[in-house]
Amino acid sequence: MTSNTPDRSRTRFPGISSRAYEHPADRSALVALRSLSGFDTVLKRLAGLFSERAIRLMFLGGSVRASETQFRNINDMVRDSAYILDLPEVPELYVTQDPTPNAMAIGTDHPFIVLNTGLVDLLDDEELRFVVAHEVGHVLSGHAVYRTMALILTNLGSRIAWLPFGNIAISAILMGLNEWQRKSELSADRAGLLAGQDVDAGKRALMKLAGGGRLTEMDAEAFREQAREYDAAGDVRDGLLKFLNLLSRSHPYAVVRFAELEHWANEGDYQRILGGDYPRRTDDANASISEEIKNAARAYRESWSRSEDPFIGVVKGAAEGAVNVGEKIFSRFGGRGDDDRNRDS
């Protein structure tokens, strides 16, 4: 499936790099992974444990593939999103019968998108466009590839649970992957906004994912206040409970995504990209690991400074220390990687 010429009423971003919309913590991890010598080989070997072909055949046999004659409206949305974000290959999209409102991008060589009918029935067209573009953002960033790795590790964890410390080691890796995945969701929300270019539709979609389809019973300002209350979180015990609740989650809570999307839309980056000021894919190979690590550290600090969570206040000093140490370590590693890249060029 190749990109044609869909909806031209929205601003298009020729050659846009996924770095334009990725959360700094997500972006730094991706830049580091992409720069690792031999990482692609390791990833392909890991992918050998996961049959992408079998999964695709499962959806091909048991779901409905969007096309010019099936779910044409959704097919147009995925084509539009790929066109606007200048994705070279339009991903296949399958609609599967499942009442749980959910969507995913999966695969390594040719990632594809799956939408549950529960999500299709829940959202209006512009809200659904935001979600479809969110998944296209995952594909452009390469998240589907790394998520496949997370699935492999999850399956591996269940197989080696009987080994001494085996499951503990895998669990520790998965906690780190979950933290990255939560940030990748914030990145994909931004991609959804860039392709849909409707802030209110994105926020409505997140509200519906939290509270269902009765939008007349919900209010954006009240939901925003929920986000503030969740952030402030009463006392240190509540903050610790929030932290523990998140450890096994791959997605941030809806109120957090709502607040983060609104903040990104208002802080200037969104308007700058709409104006044509964004990094290009042609410069991805020159991205500095050390600079991205610094950006990630800066993003965490800014997030902590905005937060009213008492738990963050208590652990902020220790967290700052950890970030500083990590920044120094990875800056040295990144500096060597940058130097090696410069010598090779």
Contacts 24+ apart (CB under 8 A), 148-153: 148/47, 148/50, 148/52, 148/106, 148/107, 148/108, 149/43, 149/46, 149/47, 149/177, 150/174, 150/177, 150/181, 150/250, 151/50, 152/46, 152/47, 152/49, 152/50, 153/177
Question: Per residue in 118-170, pLDDT tens?
Answer: 999 999 999 999 999 999 999 999 887 666 666 666 666 555 555 555 555 56
Confirm whether 190 is domain-assigned: yes
Q: Which residue has the higher pLDDT, 145 or 8?
A: 145
Residue 332 within any structural domain of the chain: yes
User: Does 266 score more than 80 pLDDT?
Assistant: yes
Q: What is the pLDDT of residue 325?
A: 41
Asked if the structure places residue 12 within a domain, the reply is no
**pTM score, whole prediction:** 0.78
Higher per-residue confidence, 268 vs 344:
268
Residue 272 placed within a domain? yes
Q: Using 50, 70 and 90 to split pLDDT, how confident is the model at 314?
A: very low
pLDDT of 77 reads: 98
Give me the pLDDT at residue 2, please: 43
The encoded tokens of residue 233 equal 């979180």
Whose CA is closest to 65, among 104, 103, 101, 95? 95
- Under the banding of pLDDT at 50, 70 and 90, the label for residue 329 is very low
Query: What whole-number distance in Å separates Cα of residue 226 and Cα of residue 203?
Result: 14
Q: Per the structure, how many domains does the chain have? A: 1
The pLDDT assigned to 327 comes to 46
| Lowest model confidence (mean pLDDT) among 65-69, 147-151, 324-328 | 324-328
**CA dist., res. 184 & res. 30, Å (int):** 10
One-letter amino acid identity for 222?
A: A
Q: Residue 21: what pLDDT?
A: 95
pLDDT greater than 50 at residue 110: yes
Amino acid at 250: S
Choose between 248 and 169: higher pLDDT: 248
**Mean of pLDDT values over 2-16:** 73
User: Considering the domain boundaries, does residue 34 fall inside one?
Assistant: yes
The larger pLDDT score, comparing residue 114 to residue 175, is at 114
Tokens in use for 275? 């104006």
pLDDT at 43 over 60: no
Q: Catalytic positions, please?
A: 135
Residue 236 lies in a domain: yes
Judge whether 33 lies within some domain: yes
* Residue 9 located in a structural domain: no
Q: Quickly state the pLDDT bin for 201 (edges 50, 70, 90).
A: very high
Average pLDDT over residues 312-317: 48
**Domain range spanning residue 75?**
19-344
What would the two tokens of residue 224 be? Answer: 């925003």
CB 56: neighbour CB atoms within 10 A?
A: 17
- Please state, in angstroms and rounded to a whole number, the distance separating the CA atoms of residues 269 and 277: 9
The confidence band for 63, taking pLDDT boundaries of 50, 70 and 90, is very high
